[in-house]
Amino acid sequence: MFNNKIKTSRLATLEQTTTTDESVFEVDDKPVMESVLDALSIIGKHEEITIRGKGKLISNAVTIALIITEKMIRGNSKIHKVTVDSEPIQDLGRSISNIKIILRKI
């Protein structure tokens, strides 16, 4: 039983380190093709990239991921995992949706 706790804490630590890694690309409101080029420079240095978008920028995150996998490095990359979630906005009583798309080189 003690061994399971160690494995679980290692997984949690690994997940935290990958989300704070330099291979994370936060989508902002600049032009999509400019963001694609920025993301390509990251995936050129790493085997994996995490593209994150919040709120109205979710569609841009999906577009960036599709342009990379279908147009730019077609056949050499794939969408590994997609996570859709929401987080509460404090003081407003609402929440904001977010997406995390993990792309991998193959």
* This model's pTM is above 0.85: no
Give the integer Cα–Cα distance in Å for 38 and 102.
Answer: 15
All structural domains of the chain with their residue ranges: 2-105
Q: Is the pLDDT of residue 3 over 50?
A: no
CATH architecture of 2-105: 2-Layer Sandwich (3.30)
Burial class (CB in 10 A: 0-12, 13-18, 19+), 80: middle
Element (H, E) at 77: strand 77-89
Identify any residues that bridge with 97 across adjacent strands, giving them in sequence order.
86
Question: pLDDT, tens digit, for every residue of 41-99?
Answer: 998 888 899 999 999 999 999 999 999 999 888 888 899 999 999 998 887 788 999 99
Contact status, residue 46 vs residue 77, Cβ threshold 8 Å:
no
